[in-house]
Amino acid sequence: MRILQLGLLVALASGVSAILIYIVGVSNQYDRLRVTEDDLNALRALQSGFKKCVETTQIIFEKHSQCGSELAVCDMIVVLVIKLHIAIVDSNGLGLQALISQDFCQVKIQYPSDTVSKWSDPETGEPEGLSFDFNLCEAAATWEQVRNSSTILTKEFIDALPNGWEEYAWRRINKGIQLDQCKNRTLCMEKLSSVLPETPPFVPRQFGRCAVIGNSGDLLKTKFGEEIDGYDAVVRENGAPIQNYTQYVGRKSTFRLLNRGSAKALDKVAELDETKKEVLIIKTTIHDIMNKMIREIPIRNQVYLMLGTSFGSSAKGTGLKALEFALSICDTVDMYGFTVDPGYKEWTRYFSESRKGHTPLHGRAYYQMMECLGIIKIHSPMRADFSRRVNYLPNKSTLDAARIASEKLLRRAGAGTNDKFGACSIMNKGQKGKFPTIPGLHEPAVNHQRYVEGASMYPLERNTGHGMLCVLP
Ligand SMILES: *[C@@H]1O[C@H](CO)[C@@H](O)[C@H](O)[C@H]1NC(C)=O
Ligand SMILES: *[C@@H]1O[C@H](CO)[C@@H](O)[C@H](O)[C@H]1NC(C)=O
Ligand SMILES: *[C@@H]1O[C@H](CO)[C@@H](O)[C@H](O)[C@H]1NC(C)=O
Ligand SMILES: *[C@@H]1O[C@H](CO)[C@@H](O)[C@H](O)[C@H]1NC(C)=O
């Protein structure tokens, strides 16, 4: 009997303590995620700077004074014929408008009302709209996370991912039935072996200044070639040729991002870069055709898979994927060859006839948002001055404070903590005890490796709170 009572007491006590622990935990979390007045001020500063960055215009008065200092009458005439030139000089957005709302995150980017939509949704037939809602908090938090991420698929990632082989790798190989959910892991690994490094081949900030080159026909309007060759690394897309276009697109090519169509013609793509040093990065599933080509042709270029692909649909956003990849390995990222100037009529590629560009106005507005958050810099025929300054960019302290506030508002994993591994919802210890494996890293990359203690951090797809998978050395 006494034992029973004691047991009851113990059970009760542990129940109460469990509840207490729960309450303390919740209130701790509540404290962490509490949005302070400072947080809100940071978001306000980000928003108002953003608005100015997109749309500030400078009005220039130009006096047409041809009559020198002669008569009062002449002065009057001058006043009458004063020509009011309203030149869009400082407007980074080239006529775009940014509307900010009471909400601390939402902004609307709007095109001039006389803009004619040239693209319609093939399913609904609706022409593309002229205003787009964006979430600045989402963008600030997500792109900063990308900058510290590994975006190349590795063996350590699959090993650490729950059901990594049975689900992720199996889907990625795209040979479902025969491989039977990778029950025979050796066989599965064989399929991936030519494209699967053990650990990330590149680390954050490994390269200094990078350029991402799109395929827009606009590239033929400006001779950017020499300028592009001046970057530390150049990222190209799909079947973009270099030969015969070097004065416009440069010669240098460090990486090439491939969608499904291009990856299937891996042998043709590998010929585009004469140096054969270009690293090929596939953003879709790996196919036996590709494996065969890598082994048998043989393709001398290094080939990798990019993480976080939307399996199947390959046309979707190679441009944004290329920016994501570049941001994960470069100090700064500039973009060329995207259709980002006013007056969009039809999408052409610099090396072929016009095609169906998708959602061009949405894309242009999104890239403008990225530029005004200081994530990328846009180069285009209308913004061809290399030394062009992007005005009203947020400074580092505003950006950091706004990002921390955004993480709290969005309930991101690790928000409000000082723990550098706070966002790691999966944490694994690697096998090799490696610290920076790449020789000759420049200082920003070394500093970052020190900061993360040599850990690799991978973004997890469809993870609530954008948690990461982290592998410590
Ligand atoms: C798994 O695949 C490998 C490589 O093809 C093969 O040698 C081995 O026999 C397979 N194992 C089983 C249990 O089927
Ligand atoms: C470059 O031009 C030459 C001569 O017109 C042509 O033979 C070659 O195929 C072109 N190269 C590319 C990559 O288009
Ligand atoms: C950064 O910008 C904010 C808002 O424009 C300003 O208040 C602050 O003084 C700036 N900080 C630095 C270090 O320049
Ligand atoms: C990314 O890494 C830098 C150090 O290189 C650090 O200061 C920053 O807080 C990190 N950002 C995130 C979102 O963890």
Asked if the model's pLDDT at residue 358 lies above 90, the reply is no
pLDDT of residue 275: 85
Hey, which residues does 448 pair with through a beta bridge? none
Q: Once rounded to an integer, what is the mean pLDDT over residues 347-375?
A: 89
Q: What is the pLDDT of residues 124-177, one digit of tens each?
A: 999 999 999 999 999 999 999 999 999 999 999 999 999 888 888 888 877 656
pLDDT of residue 315: 43
Class of domain 142-154+197-393 as given by CATH? alpha beta
In a 10 Å sphere around its CB, with 0-12 CB exposed, 13-18 middle and 19+ buried, how is residue 204 labelled? buried
pLDDT of residue 57: 59
Asked if the model's pLDDT at residue 59 lies above 50, the reply is no
Asked if the model's pLDDT at residue 352 lies above 90, the reply is no
Alpha-carbon gap, residue 105 to 137, rounded angstroms: 5
Cβ neighbours for 165, distance < 8 A, ≥ 6 positions apart: 158, 182, 185, 188
In the chain, domain spans:
38-139, 142-154+197-393
Residue 396 CB neighbours (<10 A) = 9
Asked if the model's pLDDT at residue 61 lies above 70, the reply is no
**What is the Å distance from ligand 1's center to 183 Cα?**
10
At 459, the pLDDT band (50, 70, 90 cuts) reads very high
**What is the Å distance from ligand 3's center to 332 Cα?**
21
Q: What is the pLDDT of residues 318-337, one digit of tens each?
A: 889 999 999 999 999 999 99
**What is the Å distance from ligand 2's center to 251 Cα?**
15
Asked if the model's pLDDT at residue 443 lies above 80, the reply is yes
Asked if the model's pLDDT at residue 276 lies above 90, the reply is no
Q: Is 407 in the pocket of ligand 4 (CB under 6 A)?
A: no
Residue 436: both structure tokens together: 């920076």
308 vs 16 pLDDT, higher one: 308
pLDDT of residue 84: 41
Q: What is the pLDDT of residues 414-428, one digit of tens each?
A: 998 989 999 999 999
Q: Is 184 in the pocket of ligand 2 (CB under 6 A)?
A: no
Q: Once rounded to an integer, what is the mean pLDDT over residues 194-215?
A: 94
Cβ neighbours for 79, distance < 8 A, ≥ 6 positions apart: none
Asked if the model's pLDDT at residue 211 lies above 90, the reply is yes
At 25, the pLDDT band (50, 70, 90 cuts) reads low
pLDDT of residue 432: 62
Cα dihedral: 111, 117, 119, 124 (round 10): 100
44 vs 463 pLDDT, higher one: 44
> Do 281 and 253 touch, CB atoms closer than 8 A?
no
Long-range CB pairs of 100-106, under 8 A, 24+ apart, other chains included: 100/47, 100/48, 100/50, 100/51, 104/40, 104/43, 104/44, 104/47, 104/137, 104/405, 104/409, 105/43, 105/135, 105/136, 105/137, 105/138, 105/406, 105/409, 106/133, 106/134, 106/135, 106/136
Q: What is the pLDDT of residues 245-254, one digit of tens each?
A: 999 999 999 9
At 280, the pLDDT band (50, 70, 90 cuts) reads very high
Q: Once rounded to an integer, what is the mean pLDDT over residues 203-210?
A: 97
In whole numbers, what is the pLDDT of the chain averaged over residues?
84
Q: What is the pLDDT of residues 37-46, one digit of tens each?
A: 999 999 999 9
pTM: predicted TM-score of the whole model, two decimal places: 0.87
Asked if the model's pLDDT at residue 449 lies above 90, the reply is yes
CA gyration radius for the chain? Answer: 27
> Do 49 and 398 touch, CB atoms closer than 8 A?
yes
Question: Cis omega (within 30 of 0) on the bond before 298?
Answer: yes
Q: Is 243 in the pocket of ligand 2 (CB under 6 A)?
A: yes
Asked if the model's pLDDT at residue 311 lies above 90, the reply is no
Q: Is 47 in the pocket of ligand 4 (CB under 6 A)?
A: no
pLDDT of residue 420: 93
For ligand 1, atom 14, the nearest C-alpha belongs to 184
**What is the Å distance from ligand 3's center to 397 Cα?**
7
> Do 428 and 160 touch, CB atoms closer than 8 A?
yes
Q: Is 145 in the pocket of ligand 4 (CB under 6 A)?
A: yes
As a whole-number percent, the residues of the chain with pLDDT over 70 amount to: 82
Q: Once rounded to an integer, what is the mean pLDDT over residues 11-24?
A: 55
Q: Once rounded to an integer, what is the mean pLDDT over residues 207-214?
A: 97
